[in-house]
A and B are shown apart, each in its own frame.
Chain A
Amino acid sequence: MAMDSENVTADVIESNEFPSYSARYAVQAVPKTVINDRVKFLGAVPEGRFLQEVLKAFPTEEEAGHGLNEDGGAPGSTATQP
């Protein structure tokens, strides 16, 4: 995907070599994919499903309108109401 869009950065991280960084994302099994710190899933998935997960990684209009998840919080995370 990174080869098809300048908007995409794709990282492969050897989790054993970066235990603290991996712990930040609660990596207990691999492969674990994290998209924009918002969407997380385990295992390999088909291309269409992967794209759906990528598209979920953006704030919804409602969230954007309320200024939520600006810090990349996970979906469903509690947020302070204005």
Chain B
Amino acid sequence: MEGDRGRLGELYVRHAPSSLRLAYLLTGDRELAEDLVQEAFARLVGRLAHLRDVEAFPVYLRQIVVNLSRMHFRRRSVERAYLRREERNSSNEGVQPDFDLREDLWKAIRNLPERQRTAIVLHFYEDLTEGQASEILGCRPGTYRSLISRGMQTLRTGMRGVRDG
């Protein structure tokens, strides 16, 4: 048991930073990202002894992080609270003098529907293959391509509005 705790600590130090970045990009919330990654580790730790291929650990970890973030956003009340918080944040941002298109793009990504946002992060940040990403999302490769396409279309439309407005 002690050995497994030590192993967990080692795996945490090794894989937590990349998982936190992924969780942050999926949720846009630093504290939430930390919670999700810790939850992911808690879920994985019991499976350590059964993991035949230790190299598969980051793959499982990434899948659980994505699933947890998706589950999080399925909780509609939490999502509503999140949107309210975003609303407050955006109203605060509105008084900042250096209006930044980069932040608008970041905000637009965070406001994408959850599946589109996840697909975009897996594609543009994780650089996963279609097969890997569609497996994580539990959809067909065609659906994955469609999610990216629709997400990009939404971003394009949104950013055009910002630029023109």
Partners in one complex: no
- List residues of A whose CB falls within 8 A of some B CB: none
- List residues of B whose CB falls within 8 A of some A CB: none
